[in-house]
Copies of this chain bind each other. A is one copy, B any other.
């Protein structure tokens, strides 16, 4: 239903510019990469960035599905009317200076929504960074492309959203869509959750929330959508000081965090406490759901195994009690110093072959619902973490009983290539015990809500 925001046949940029210091320059530059048709609208210039420009959106000799408005504030209203007369379906208003400015701005914003609805249009924004779809290659924002992936990310703070897009470009997490909702004058979290529930490219929905206006509808939709697809929410303004700051920032009433948290839980939403928790949980859902809460940990060093066991415990998951047979088989090829009890410590000498055999045995063990494969930097000369990653991947391909596997590769850039390999196989790979812990928790919790895991 909101398809025209993500896969429009054609896009017009009102305020497309030749001046690199203007947002309209970046927006049009980004949109030129889109596979659909893109039209610059500029009141003065006849050509924008090498493309024939139109004085008015109505002059475009083609249907326009999506319009991006990035003109100065005083021209926004007329631009929107022009879009309506043109028959545009979706409008992204990047321009700021509306609801976030106080009562007068709120009134102007309501007027924009009335105009839009009169013409049957929907608005994302105003005061937003825009919208990205990494699968259709649409970047209707003024920021860099997000890394492609499976998480739909909706942010109520444009700058924070942008910061997260930038931060993750070099991390093992990608987005299907990034939607900066700005003031949420029209299209809001509920609309987007509803839409994303049906989006095949999005395996999970991550929300950064500062304040919600229509709590009842939000909950009603979240309850429905979270039965199909995991929703993870990070709410800013937990503390009193934070809430006060949030309220002055977005103008929306932050409300007590306790109320939000209860509402999230009632709606089947997974609650994140930090940005990294939100991202760690969301990207776990490339994996199948576990049938229970029993986790097996394999590692080439004791310390990280212990730290991960701590996190598993903290999150209410359990260390699996391995079958006698599994332990005997592990004992048969692991060195005497190895620990064959869960967490299985294969010790530093473990190579790709040990990773493969151990992962396979653990996945085949009936007491194991989920596997976490840890690799700290191999300390022996001549080894690289890539062979460890390959061992895990080989086991995952051979054992097809649908158990989720998460990886924890803990040596910064030294394990970059290994992480790329795992990522290619859609095995979520983390760098910190707490991140993999919360990811395992998210899988089990969502499985529980779907009745896959019985408490």
Q: Which residues of A contact B (CB under 8 A)?
A: 20-23, 25-26, 96-97, 100-101, 129, 142-144, 155-163, 166-171, 208, 210, 236-242, 244-246, 248-250, 274-276, 300-307, 309-310, 312-314, 318-319, 336-337, 339, 341, 343, 345, 348, 376-377, 379-382, 410-414, 431-434
Contact = CB atoms under 8 A, between A and B. Distances in A.
B162 A274 contact: no
Contacts of A312: 239, 241
A76 B305 CA distance: 29
Nearest to A299: B159
A249 B306 contact: yes
B304 A163 contact: yes
Nearest to A375: B163
A454 to B, nearest CB: 21
A23 B381 contact: yes
B168 A313 contact: no
B379 A143 contact: yes
Copies in the complex: 2
Contacts of A236: 303, 306-307, 310
A314 B162 contact: no
B377 A310 contact: no
Nearest to A171: B412
Contact of A163 (B241, B248, B274, B377): B377
Given A302-B249, A305-B249, A433-B274, A379 B158 contact: yes
A303 B159 CA distance: 7
Nearest to A414: B166
B162 A376 contact: yes
B310 A348 contact: no
B142 A381 contact: yes
A208 B414 CA distance: 21
Contacts of A242: 306-307, 309-310, 313
23 contacts: A21-B382, A96-B337, A100-B337, A101-B337, A129-B379, A142-B379, A144-B414, A159-B301, A159-B348, A159-B379, A162-B376, A166-B377, A170-B412, A171-B412, A210-B303, A237-B310, A240-B313, A242-B306, A245-B302, A245-B309, A249-B305, A274-B434, A275-B433
